[in-house]
Amino acid sequence: MLQTLAHYGCHFLIPLAVALVFYRSHWKYAFLIMILGMLIDLDHLLATPIFDPHRCSINFHPLHSYYAIAIYVLLLIPKKTRLIGLGLVIHIFADVVDCAMM
């Protein structure tokens, strides 16, 4: 239960906090873009079984690979891709927390 709360708290509350603190004038837009980072979980559809509560996503699923994570970090550099990069990096951070709590 605590693990699930921490996982989804990271997925939703951290982007909300970042949007409210750093993008106050257009926080709803920033929050939405960062939440779209959840779409990388579509790569779970490629796994069998699709969901395994005892499986760490990091470096297991293609969009959670170390190569993909490196690209997500690079997306933080240009201003035009920063929100997308933030959403993806926060998503990966939430998954790392989840893996650490296993």
Percent of the chain with pLDDT strictly greater than 70: 97
DSSP symbols for the chain: -HHHHHHHHHHHHHHHHHHHHH-GGGHHHHHHHHHGGGGGGGGGGGSSSS--TT---TTTSGGGSHHHHHHHHHTTSSGGGHHHHHHHHHHHHHHHHHHHH-
Q: What is the mean pLDDT of the chain?
A: 92
Place of tokens 């960062």: 34
54-93 per-position pLDDT tens digit? 899 999 999 999 999 999 999 999 999 999 999 999 999 9
pLDDT category of residue 1 using cuts at 50, 70 and 90: low
Return the pLDDT at 52.
86
* Sign of the torsion formed by the C-alpha atoms of 9, 11, 12 and 18: positive
Q: What is the pTM of this model?
A: 0.91
69-79 per-position pLDDT tens digit? 999 999 999 99
Give the pLDDT mean for 12-38.
96
